[in-house]
Structure 1
Amino acid sequence: MYRLRWPVNFSSIFKWIKDKFTVLLSAKPIKRIRELPKTAVLAVVLITLLIGANSVFWWYRATHGGFDFSQEPEEEITNEWEVDMNEQGLDEEELRKQYASITPIENQNETQEIVETSSEETEPEQKQDEAPTDEPINTQPEPETKPETKPKETAQVSALSTMAMPTVGKVITAFAMDTLVYSKTLEQWNTHNGIDIAADLGSPVKAAMEGIVAEVKNNDPRLGVVVILDHGGGIQTLYGNLQSDKLVKKGDKIEKGQVIGAVGQTAPFEIEDPPHLHFEVIKDGKNINPEQYLPKLN
Structure 2
Amino acid sequence: MTTKKKRQTSPAGRRMATVALSLCLLAGVTLFGMYTVGKTEEQQRRLEQEVADAEKAAQARQQEVAAKAAREQKAAEAERQAASGSASRDRTGESAAETAQVEGSETAETDNAELEGEYAEISVDEPVIIEANAGAEAPPLSFSAETDQLLWPIAGNILMDYSMDKTVYFSTLDQYKYNPAIIIEGSVDQNVLSAASGKVISIENVDETGTTITMDIGSGYQVIYGQIKEPAVQQGDYVQAGALIGYVAEPTRFYSKEGSNLYFQVLKDGESINPKELLP
TM-score by length of 2: 0.49
- The structure whose Rg is larger is 1
TM-score by length of 1: 0.46
Q: Which has the higher contact order (CA 8 A, sep 6+)?
A: 2
